[in-house]
Structure 1
Amino acid sequence: MRSAPQGARASAARPGSRTSTSKPRAAAPAGGMALPRLVAFDLDATLWYPEMYMLDGPPFKLGHCSRGRPVVIDRSGEEVGLIGDTWSILHELHTDEKWAGTEIAYVSRTDMPKWAAQCLQLLKLDSGVSLHDFAHHHEIYPGSKRTHFRRIHERTGIRYEDMLFFDDMHWNIEDCAGLGVCAVYAPRGLRADVWKKGLAQYARRQGS
Protein backbone atom coordinates (compact mmCIF):
# COMPACT_ATOMS: atom_id res chain seq x y z
CA MET A 1 0.00 0.00 0.00
CA ARG A 2 1.40 3.43 -0.89
CA SER A 3 2.27 5.92 1.82
CA ALA A 4 2.58 9.65 2.44
CA PRO A 5 4.94 11.53 4.79
CA GLN A 6 2.26 12.47 7.29
CA GLY A 7 -1.16 11.26 8.37
CA ALA A 8 -3.47 10.55 11.24
CA ARG A 9 -3.55 7.28 13.10
CA ALA A 10 -6.78 5.27 13.03
CA SER A 11 -6.65 2.46 15.57
CA ALA A 12 -9.48 0.63 17.30
CA ALA A 13 -10.35 -2.71 18.83
CA ARG A 14 -13.15 -4.95 17.70
CA PRO A 15 -16.05 -5.13 20.15
CA GLY A 16 -15.60 -8.17 22.35
CA SER A 17 -11.94 -8.55 21.45
CA ARG A 18 -9.43 -10.10 23.83
CA THR A 19 -7.72 -7.68 26.18
CA SER A 20 -4.26 -6.33 25.50
CA THR A 21 -3.02 -7.53 28.90
CA SER A 22 -3.56 -11.21 28.13
CA LYS A 23 -0.40 -13.29 28.10
CA PRO A 24 0.74 -14.65 24.74
CA ARG A 25 -0.03 -18.33 24.30
CA ALA A 26 1.06 -21.03 21.92
CA ALA A 27 -0.63 -21.27 18.56
CA ALA A 28 -3.63 -23.59 18.70
CA PRO A 29 -3.36 -26.72 16.58
CA ALA A 30 -6.13 -27.56 14.12
CA GLY A 31 -5.90 -30.77 12.18
CA GLY A 32 -2.23 -30.98 13.13
CA MET A 33 -1.42 -27.49 11.78
CA ALA A 34 -0.48 -24.62 14.07
CA LEU A 35 -2.54 -21.46 13.64
CA PRO A 36 -1.28 -17.90 14.18
CA ARG A 37 -2.28 -15.87 17.19
CA LEU A 38 -2.81 -12.90 14.88
CA VAL A 39 -3.53 -12.60 11.16
CA ALA A 40 -2.83 -9.17 9.66
CA PHE A 41 -3.77 -7.84 6.24
CA ASP A 42 -2.71 -4.89 4.15
CA LEU A 43 -5.73 -3.19 2.54
CA ASP A 44 -4.95 -1.51 -0.81
CA ALA A 45 -4.39 -4.06 -3.61
CA THR A 46 -4.34 -6.86 -1.02
CA LEU A 47 -7.95 -6.97 0.21
CA TRP A 48 -9.55 -4.42 -2.11
CA TYR A 49 -9.09 -2.38 -5.26
CA PRO A 50 -8.80 0.44 -6.34
CA GLU A 51 -6.42 1.85 -3.76
CA MET A 52 -7.51 4.77 -1.59
CA TYR A 53 -5.23 7.29 -3.33
CA MET A 54 -6.94 6.47 -6.64
CA LEU A 55 -10.38 7.56 -5.41
CA ASP A 56 -12.12 10.94 -5.52
CA GLY A 57 -13.23 10.55 -1.92
CA PRO A 58 -16.53 10.87 -0.05
CA PRO A 59 -19.39 10.84 0.13
CA PHE A 60 -19.20 7.05 -0.04
CA LYS A 61 -22.22 4.84 -0.47
CA LEU A 62 -22.89 1.13 -0.60
CA GLY A 63 -23.54 -0.61 -3.90
CA HIS A 64 -23.43 -4.11 -5.39
CA CYS A 65 -21.34 -5.55 -8.18
CA SER A 66 -22.56 -8.05 -10.75
CA ARG A 67 -21.88 -11.00 -8.45
CA GLY A 68 -24.08 -9.49 -5.75
CA ARG A 69 -21.22 -8.71 -3.40
CA PRO A 70 -21.17 -5.24 -1.83
CA VAL A 71 -18.90 -2.53 -3.14
CA VAL A 72 -18.24 1.00 -1.96
CA ILE A 73 -18.94 3.76 -4.49
CA ASP A 74 -17.12 7.09 -4.19
CA ARG A 75 -18.44 10.50 -5.27
CA SER A 76 -17.36 10.00 -8.88
CA GLY A 77 -18.91 6.52 -9.18
CA GLU A 78 -15.65 4.56 -8.74
CA GLU A 79 -16.30 1.17 -7.14
CA VAL A 80 -14.11 -0.32 -4.40
CA GLY A 81 -14.55 -4.07 -4.01
CA LEU A 82 -12.82 -7.00 -2.36
CA ILE A 83 -10.47 -8.82 -4.70
CA GLY A 84 -9.31 -12.40 -5.20
CA ASP A 85 -10.65 -14.80 -2.56
CA THR A 86 -10.78 -12.18 0.17
CA TRP A 87 -14.50 -12.60 0.80
CA SER A 88 -14.41 -16.35 1.41
CA ILE A 89 -11.24 -16.14 3.52
CA LEU A 90 -12.65 -13.43 5.78
CA HIS A 91 -15.88 -15.42 6.04
CA GLU A 92 -13.89 -18.45 7.21
CA LEU A 93 -12.00 -16.40 9.77
CA HIS A 94 -15.27 -15.00 11.10
CA THR A 95 -17.33 -18.20 11.23
CA ASP A 96 -14.99 -21.18 11.67
CA GLU A 97 -14.54 -22.05 15.35
CA LYS A 98 -10.92 -23.05 14.83
CA TRP A 99 -10.09 -19.34 14.44
CA ALA A 100 -11.70 -18.33 17.75
CA GLY A 101 -8.28 -17.84 19.34
CA THR A 102 -6.89 -15.69 16.54
CA GLU A 103 -7.02 -11.88 16.40
CA ILE A 104 -7.41 -9.98 13.13
CA ALA A 105 -5.60 -6.77 12.19
CA TYR A 106 -5.53 -4.32 9.30
CA VAL A 107 -2.04 -2.94 8.77
CA SER A 108 -2.07 -0.18 6.17
CA ARG A 109 0.20 2.72 5.23
CA THR A 110 -2.46 4.73 3.42
CA ASP A 111 -2.49 8.50 3.81
CA MET A 112 -6.31 8.39 3.59
CA PRO A 113 -7.10 6.54 6.85
CA LYS A 114 -10.53 8.13 7.20
CA TRP A 115 -11.53 6.98 3.72
CA ALA A 116 -10.32 3.46 4.51
CA ALA A 117 -12.30 3.44 7.76
CA GLN A 118 -15.48 4.49 5.95
CA CYS A 119 -15.02 1.74 3.37
CA LEU A 120 -14.48 -0.83 6.12
CA GLN A 121 -17.63 0.32 7.88
CA LEU A 122 -19.75 0.06 4.72
CA LEU A 123 -18.55 -3.36 3.57
CA LYS A 124 -20.23 -6.21 5.46
CA LEU A 125 -19.84 -9.97 5.59
CA ASP A 126 -22.83 -12.24 5.02
CA SER A 127 -23.41 -12.30 8.79
CA GLY A 128 -24.00 -8.55 8.71
CA VAL A 129 -20.84 -7.63 10.62
CA SER A 130 -18.85 -4.84 8.99
CA LEU A 131 -15.25 -5.37 7.98
CA HIS A 132 -14.44 -2.60 10.45
CA ASP A 133 -15.97 -4.42 13.42
CA PHE A 134 -14.64 -7.76 12.22
CA ALA A 135 -11.05 -6.78 13.06
CA HIS A 136 -9.53 -6.43 16.51
CA HIS A 137 -6.85 -3.94 15.45
CA HIS A 138 -6.80 -1.04 12.99
CA GLU A 139 -3.27 0.21 12.34
CA ILE A 140 -4.12 2.45 9.40
CA TYR A 141 -1.77 5.42 8.97
CA PRO A 142 1.42 6.33 7.03
CA GLY A 143 4.83 5.19 8.15
CA SER A 144 6.86 2.02 8.49
CA LYS A 145 4.80 -1.09 9.02
CA ARG A 146 7.29 -2.07 11.69
CA THR A 147 5.65 0.67 13.76
CA HIS A 148 2.22 -0.83 13.08
CA PHE A 149 3.32 -4.25 14.28
CA ARG A 150 5.23 -2.91 17.26
CA ARG A 151 2.08 -1.17 18.47
CA ILE A 152 0.07 -4.37 18.14
CA HIS A 153 2.79 -6.31 19.98
CA GLU A 154 2.95 -3.75 22.79
CA ARG A 155 -0.83 -3.70 23.13
CA THR A 156 -1.40 -7.46 23.05
CA GLY A 157 1.80 -9.17 24.10
CA ILE A 158 1.55 -11.40 21.04
CA ARG A 159 5.01 -12.38 19.81
CA TYR A 160 6.00 -11.37 16.28
CA GLU A 161 6.71 -15.04 15.60
CA ASP A 162 3.01 -15.78 16.28
CA MET A 163 1.81 -13.31 13.63
CA LEU A 164 0.93 -13.98 9.97
CA PHE A 165 0.82 -11.06 7.53
CA PHE A 166 -0.21 -10.63 3.87
CA ASP A 167 0.83 -7.68 1.68
CA ASP A 168 1.10 -6.97 -2.06
CA MET A 169 4.29 -4.91 -1.68
CA HIS A 170 7.47 -6.98 -1.46
CA TRP A 171 9.46 -4.42 0.45
CA ASN A 172 6.79 -4.32 3.17
CA ILE A 173 7.14 -8.11 3.42
CA GLU A 174 10.89 -7.84 3.86
CA ASP A 175 10.53 -5.02 6.39
CA CYS A 176 8.09 -6.92 8.62
CA ALA A 177 9.89 -10.23 8.25
CA GLY A 178 12.85 -8.49 9.87
CA LEU A 179 10.81 -8.32 13.08
CA GLY A 180 10.11 -12.04 12.98
CA VAL A 181 6.60 -11.78 11.52
CA CYS A 182 5.67 -14.56 9.08
CA ALA A 183 5.13 -12.20 6.13
CA VAL A 184 3.67 -13.52 2.86
CA TYR A 185 3.86 -11.79 -0.52
CA ALA A 186 0.46 -11.46 -2.25
CA PRO A 187 1.22 -9.68 -5.55
CA ARG A 188 -2.28 -10.27 -6.96
CA GLY A 189 -4.13 -9.75 -3.72
CA LEU A 190 -5.42 -12.26 -1.20
CA ARG A 191 -6.08 -15.46 -3.13
CA ALA A 192 -6.71 -19.01 -1.97
CA ASP A 193 -3.29 -20.26 -3.10
CA VAL A 194 -1.48 -17.44 -1.27
CA TRP A 195 -3.63 -17.99 1.83
CA LYS A 196 -2.80 -21.71 1.92
CA LYS A 197 0.85 -20.97 1.27
CA GLY A 198 0.90 -18.55 4.19
CA LEU A 199 -0.72 -21.02 6.58
CA ALA A 200 1.72 -23.74 5.54
CA GLN A 201 4.69 -21.38 5.86
CA TYR A 202 3.59 -20.34 9.34
CA ALA A 203 3.05 -23.97 10.42
CA ARG A 204 6.53 -24.96 9.22
CA ARG A 205 8.06 -22.18 11.26
CA GLN A 206 6.20 -23.47 14.29
CA GLY A 207 7.45 -26.99 13.66
CA SER A 208 4.03 -28.50 12.94
Structure 2
Amino acid sequence: MPRKLSKPNNTLRNSSQPPPTSRRRSSSQGPGLSISGGVPLPAWLDDDSQPLPQLIVLDLDYTLWPFYSDIHIATPIRPVPSSNHATISDRNGETFALYPDVPHILHLLPQAGIKLGVASKSPVGDLCRDVLKHLRLPPAAGPQQPTDGYESASKSSRWASSGKGRKTIEVFEAGLEIYEGTKLRHFEAISRRTGVPFEEMLFFDDERPNFEVERLGVTMHLVSNGLTWTELERGIQKWRAKRGVE
Protein backbone atom coordinates (compact mmCIF):
# COMPACT_ATOMS: atom_id res chain seq x y z
CA MET A 1 0.00 0.00 0.00
CA PRO A 2 1.48 3.36 -0.96
CA ARG A 3 2.38 5.50 2.03
CA LYS A 4 0.78 8.90 2.21
CA LEU A 5 3.25 11.74 2.11
CA SER A 6 2.60 13.30 5.50
CA LYS A 7 5.99 14.91 6.03
CA PRO A 8 8.01 17.43 4.05
CA ASN A 9 11.04 16.31 2.17
CA ASN A 10 13.64 17.60 4.62
CA THR A 11 16.42 15.87 2.75
CA LEU A 12 19.88 16.92 3.83
CA ARG A 13 21.67 18.33 0.86
CA ASN A 14 25.43 18.21 0.47
CA SER A 15 25.24 17.82 3.62
CA SER A 16 13.80 -1.46 40.77
CA GLN A 17 17.57 -2.87 40.56
CA PRO A 18 18.60 -3.68 37.12
CA PRO A 19 18.86 -7.38 36.34
CA PRO A 20 22.36 -8.80 35.89
CA THR A 21 21.83 -9.10 32.13
CA SER A 22 21.68 -5.33 31.63
CA ARG A 23 24.49 -3.83 29.59
CA ARG A 24 26.75 -1.42 31.44
CA ARG A 25 29.96 0.47 30.87
CA SER A 26 32.94 -1.72 31.65
CA SER A 27 33.91 -1.54 35.33
CA SER A 28 37.49 -0.92 34.26
CA GLN A 29 36.48 2.45 32.93
CA GLY A 30 36.45 5.37 35.31
CA PRO A 31 33.84 8.13 35.08
CA GLY A 32 34.29 10.29 32.05
CA LEU A 33 36.68 7.91 30.32
CA SER A 34 36.18 6.74 26.80
CA ILE A 35 35.42 3.23 25.69
CA SER A 36 37.71 3.44 22.72
CA GLY A 37 39.54 5.84 20.52
CA GLY A 38 39.81 8.58 23.16
CA VAL A 39 36.17 9.57 22.64
CA PRO A 40 34.40 10.49 25.92
CA LEU A 41 30.97 9.06 26.64
CA PRO A 42 28.08 11.37 27.53
CA ALA A 43 27.53 11.46 31.32
CA TRP A 44 24.17 9.69 31.07
CA LEU A 45 25.87 6.74 29.35
CA ASP A 46 28.99 6.79 31.52
CA ASP A 47 27.40 5.73 34.85
CA ASP A 48 28.28 2.26 36.12
CA SER A 49 25.23 2.26 38.44
CA GLN A 50 22.76 2.72 35.58
CA PRO A 51 21.65 -0.08 33.23
CA LEU A 52 21.56 0.19 29.46
CA PRO A 53 19.34 -1.73 27.05
CA GLN A 54 20.98 -4.70 25.38
CA LEU A 55 19.51 -3.74 22.02
CA ILE A 56 18.40 -0.50 20.40
CA VAL A 57 16.23 -0.85 17.31
CA LEU A 58 15.78 1.99 14.86
CA ASP A 59 13.20 2.85 12.25
CA LEU A 60 14.59 4.28 9.01
CA ASP A 61 12.38 6.91 7.33
CA TYR A 62 12.25 10.12 9.38
CA THR A 63 14.14 8.44 12.23
CA LEU A 64 17.54 7.59 10.77
CA TRP A 65 17.20 9.82 7.72
CA PRO A 66 14.89 12.72 6.70
CA PHE A 67 13.07 11.23 3.71
CA TYR A 68 10.75 8.42 2.61
CA SER A 69 12.86 5.78 0.91
CA ASP A 70 10.00 4.70 -1.36
CA ILE A 71 8.90 8.20 -2.40
CA HIS A 72 11.80 10.62 -2.51
CA ILE A 73 14.59 8.55 -4.08
CA ALA A 74 14.73 7.99 -7.84
CA THR A 75 17.01 5.03 -8.50
CA PRO A 76 19.76 4.34 -9.27
CA ILE A 77 21.75 5.85 -6.41
CA ARG A 78 25.45 6.47 -6.03
CA PRO A 79 27.77 7.95 -3.40
CA VAL A 80 28.87 11.56 -3.74
CA PRO A 81 32.69 11.37 -3.99
CA SER A 82 33.27 14.83 -2.54
CA SER A 83 31.43 13.80 0.65
CA ASN A 84 33.59 10.70 1.19
CA HIS A 85 30.41 8.62 0.98
CA ALA A 86 28.60 10.58 3.71
CA THR A 87 26.01 11.57 1.08
CA ILE A 88 24.36 9.82 -1.86
CA SER A 89 22.67 11.19 -4.96
CA ASP A 90 19.87 9.76 -7.07
CA ARG A 91 18.98 9.80 -10.77
CA ASN A 92 17.61 13.33 -10.50
CA GLY A 93 20.68 14.71 -8.77
CA GLU A 94 18.93 15.00 -5.39
CA THR A 95 21.23 14.32 -2.44
CA PHE A 96 20.46 12.38 0.72
CA ALA A 97 22.21 11.82 4.06
CA LEU A 98 21.60 10.63 7.60
CA TYR A 99 20.27 13.02 10.22
CA PRO A 100 23.20 15.07 11.60
CA ASP A 101 23.65 13.32 14.98
CA VAL A 102 23.07 9.81 13.66
CA PRO A 103 26.62 8.96 12.46
CA HIS A 104 28.12 9.69 15.90
CA ILE A 105 25.31 7.81 17.66
CA LEU A 106 25.72 4.73 15.47
CA HIS A 107 29.46 4.75 16.17
CA LEU A 108 29.15 5.13 19.95
CA LEU A 109 26.37 2.72 20.90
CA PRO A 110 28.15 -0.51 19.82
CA GLN A 111 31.25 0.78 21.62
CA ALA A 112 29.07 0.98 24.75
CA GLY A 113 28.07 -2.68 24.34
CA ILE A 114 24.63 -2.00 22.86
CA LYS A 115 23.56 -4.00 19.83
CA LEU A 116 21.77 -2.21 17.00
CA GLY A 117 18.99 -3.36 14.70
CA VAL A 118 16.50 -1.97 12.19
CA ALA A 119 12.71 -2.34 12.04
CA SER A 120 11.16 -0.54 9.08
CA LYS A 121 7.89 -0.82 7.15
CA SER A 122 9.46 0.52 3.97
CA PRO A 123 8.28 -1.46 0.92
CA VAL A 124 11.67 -0.98 -0.76
CA GLY A 125 13.91 -3.09 1.44
CA ASP A 126 16.56 -3.65 -1.21
CA LEU A 127 16.87 0.08 -1.83
CA CYS A 128 17.14 0.76 1.91
CA ARG A 129 19.95 -1.77 2.16
CA ASP A 130 21.70 -0.12 -0.76
CA VAL A 131 21.42 3.27 0.94
CA LEU A 132 22.89 1.81 4.15
CA LYS A 133 25.72 0.26 2.14
CA HIS A 134 26.56 3.47 0.28
CA LEU A 135 26.38 5.81 3.28
CA ARG A 136 29.54 5.61 5.36
CA LEU A 137 30.10 6.56 8.99
CA PRO A 138 32.95 9.03 9.48
CA PRO A 139 36.15 7.38 10.72
CA ALA A 140 36.48 7.50 14.52
CA ALA A 141 33.21 9.38 14.76
CA GLY A 142 32.32 10.19 18.37
CA PRO A 143 29.77 12.16 20.34
CA GLN A 144 29.47 15.88 19.85
CA GLN A 145 27.30 18.28 21.79
CA PRO A 146 23.63 17.24 21.42
CA THR A 147 21.89 19.02 18.60
CA ASP A 148 18.38 19.09 17.23
CA GLY A 149 17.42 19.86 13.67
CA TYR A 150 20.06 20.54 11.06
CA GLU A 151 22.53 22.87 12.72
CA SER A 152 25.30 20.25 12.62
CA ALA A 153 24.62 19.06 9.08
CA SER A 154 27.76 20.69 7.72
CA LYS A 155 29.90 18.56 10.07
CA SER A 156 29.34 15.53 7.87
CA SER A 157 32.01 16.41 5.33
CA ARG A 158 34.50 17.44 8.04
CA TRP A 159 34.04 14.14 9.91
CA ALA A 160 34.60 12.21 6.70
CA SER A 161 37.73 14.12 5.70
CA SER A 162 40.14 11.39 6.84
CA GLY A 163 38.59 8.60 4.74
CA LYS A 164 35.43 6.86 3.67
CA GLY A 165 34.75 5.17 7.01
CA ARG A 166 32.62 2.14 7.77
CA LYS A 167 29.49 1.19 5.85
CA THR A 168 26.46 2.14 7.91
CA ILE A 169 24.85 -1.25 7.33
CA GLU A 170 27.73 -2.96 9.15
CA VAL A 171 26.83 -1.56 12.59
CA PHE A 172 23.46 -3.35 12.70
CA GLU A 173 24.61 -6.57 14.36
CA ALA A 174 21.03 -7.53 15.28
CA GLY A 175 20.01 -7.44 11.63
CA LEU A 176 17.55 -5.57 9.49
CA GLU A 177 13.81 -6.25 9.28
CA ILE A 178 12.56 -4.11 6.38
CA TYR A 179 9.15 -4.95 4.96
CA GLU A 180 5.54 -3.83 5.19
CA GLY A 181 3.20 -4.99 7.95
CA THR A 182 2.95 -4.76 11.72
CA LYS A 183 6.19 -4.14 13.56
CA LEU A 184 5.19 -6.85 16.03
CA ARG A 185 6.42 -9.20 13.32
CA HIS A 186 9.66 -7.27 12.95
CA PHE A 187 10.40 -7.51 16.67
CA GLU A 188 9.48 -11.17 16.95
CA ALA A 189 12.02 -11.88 14.20
CA ILE A 190 14.69 -9.77 15.89
CA SER A 191 14.09 -11.51 19.23
CA ARG A 192 14.36 -14.97 17.65
CA ARG A 193 17.57 -14.02 15.87
CA THR A 194 19.33 -12.34 18.80
CA GLY A 195 17.84 -14.05 21.85
CA VAL A 196 17.48 -10.63 23.45
CA PRO A 197 14.33 -10.35 25.64
CA PHE A 198 11.81 -7.72 24.53
CA GLU A 199 12.22 -5.97 27.89
CA GLU A 200 15.88 -5.37 27.00
CA MET A 201 14.96 -3.56 23.76
CA LEU A 202 14.53 0.17 23.16
CA PHE A 203 12.91 1.30 19.91
CA PHE A 204 13.01 4.70 18.23
CA ASP A 205 10.30 5.48 15.67
CA ASP A 206 8.42 8.49 14.32
CA GLU A 207 4.92 6.98 14.00
CA ARG A 208 2.51 6.60 16.95
CA PRO A 209 0.76 3.41 15.72
CA ASN A 210 4.03 1.56 16.22
CA PHE A 211 3.62 1.87 20.00
CA GLU A 212 1.87 -1.48 19.55
CA VAL A 213 5.30 -3.11 20.03
CA GLU A 214 5.09 -2.17 23.72
CA ARG A 215 2.57 -5.01 24.08
CA LEU A 216 5.56 -7.31 23.68
CA GLY A 217 7.51 -5.57 26.44
CA VAL A 218 9.59 -3.34 24.15
CA THR A 219 10.06 0.29 25.20
CA MET A 220 9.36 2.72 22.35
CA HIS A 221 10.34 6.37 22.22
CA LEU A 222 8.66 8.62 19.66
CA VAL A 223 10.83 11.07 17.73
CA SER A 224 9.47 13.99 15.73
CA ASN A 225 12.57 15.31 13.98
CA GLY A 226 14.85 12.32 13.69
CA LEU A 227 17.21 10.66 16.15
CA THR A 228 19.31 13.17 18.08
CA TRP A 229 21.46 12.99 21.21
CA THR A 230 18.60 14.60 23.14
CA GLU A 231 16.09 12.00 21.93
CA LEU A 232 18.54 9.16 22.60
CA GLU A 233 18.95 10.32 26.21
CA ARG A 234 15.18 10.66 26.66
CA GLY A 235 14.63 7.17 25.26
CA ILE A 236 17.21 5.59 27.58
CA GLN A 237 15.72 7.45 30.55
CA LYS A 238 12.27 6.14 29.60
CA TRP A 239 13.60 2.58 29.35
CA ARG A 240 15.26 2.92 32.77
CA ALA A 241 12.11 4.40 34.32
CA LYS A 242 10.10 1.38 33.18
CA ARG A 243 12.55 -0.75 35.12
CA GLY A 244 12.14 1.37 38.26
CA VAL A 245 15.53 3.04 37.84
CA GLU A 246 15.61 6.78 38.48
Query: Shared topology, TM-score over 0.5?
Result: yes
Aligned to 2:192: 154
Which amino acid letter does the alignment assign opposite residue 61 of structure 1?
R
Q: Cα deviations across residues 104-150 of structure 1 (Å, max 9, x unaligned)?
A: 10111000111101000001112322111111111011111110000
Distance 1:160 1:3, change over 3 A: farther
Aligned to 1:200: 237
Question: What 5-or-longer segments of structure 2 have no aligned partner?
Answer: 5-19, 26-46, 140-164
Separation of aligned partners in 2, 1:48 and 1:74: 15
With normalisation by structure 2, the TM-score equals: 0.68
Aligned to 2:93: 77
CA RMSD of superposed structures (Å): 2.3
- Are the counterparts in 1 of residues 116 and 172 from structure 2 also a CA contact under 8 Å? yes
Distance 1:78 1:126, change over 3 A: same
Aligned to 1:89: 105
Deviation larger for 127-136 or 162-171 = 127-136
Q: How does 1:84-163 map to 2 (within 5 A)?
A: 84-94=100-110, 96=111, 99-100=112-113, 102-127=114-139, 128-136=165-173, 137-163=175-201
- Are the counterparts in 2 of residues 71 and 79 from structure 1 also a CA contact under 8 Å? yes
Separation of aligned partners in 2, 1:146 and 1:170: 14
The percent of aligned pairs where both chains have the same amino acid is 29
Separation of aligned partners in 1, 2:122 and 2:230: 26
Question: What 5-or-longer segments of structure 1 have no aligned partner?
Answer: 5-24
- Helix, strand or coil: the match of 1:51? coil
Separation of aligned partners in 2, 1:3 and 1:107: 16
C-alpha deviation, 1:65, in angstroms = 8.4
Which amino acid letter does the alignment assign opposite residue 122 of structure 1?
H
1:46 counterpart = 2:41: no
- Are the counterparts in 2 of residues 122 and 130 from structure 1 also a CA contact under 8 Å? yes
- Helix, strand or coil: the match of 1:154? helix
Alignment length (residue pairs): 182
Bigger proportion of residues as strand = 1
Distance 1:88 1:153, change over 3 A: same
Aligned to 1:26: 21
C-alpha deviation, 1:157, in angstroms = 1.7
Could you say which structure has the larger radius of gyration?
A: 2
C-alpha deviation, 1:199, in angstroms = 0.9
Separation of aligned partners in 2, 1:204 and 1:156: 24
With normalisation by structure 1, the TM-score equals: 0.80
Pick one of 166, 186, 189 that aligns with 2:223: 186
Moved beyond 4 Å, runs of 4+: none
Higher relative contact order (CA 8 A, sep 6+): 1
Separation of aligned partners in 1, 2:88 and 2:218: 31
- Helix, strand or coil: the match of 2:87? strand
- Helix, strand or coil: the match of 2:196? coil
Separation of aligned partners in 1, 2:64 and 2:98: 6
Which amino acid letter does the alignment assign opposite residue 202 of structure 2?
L
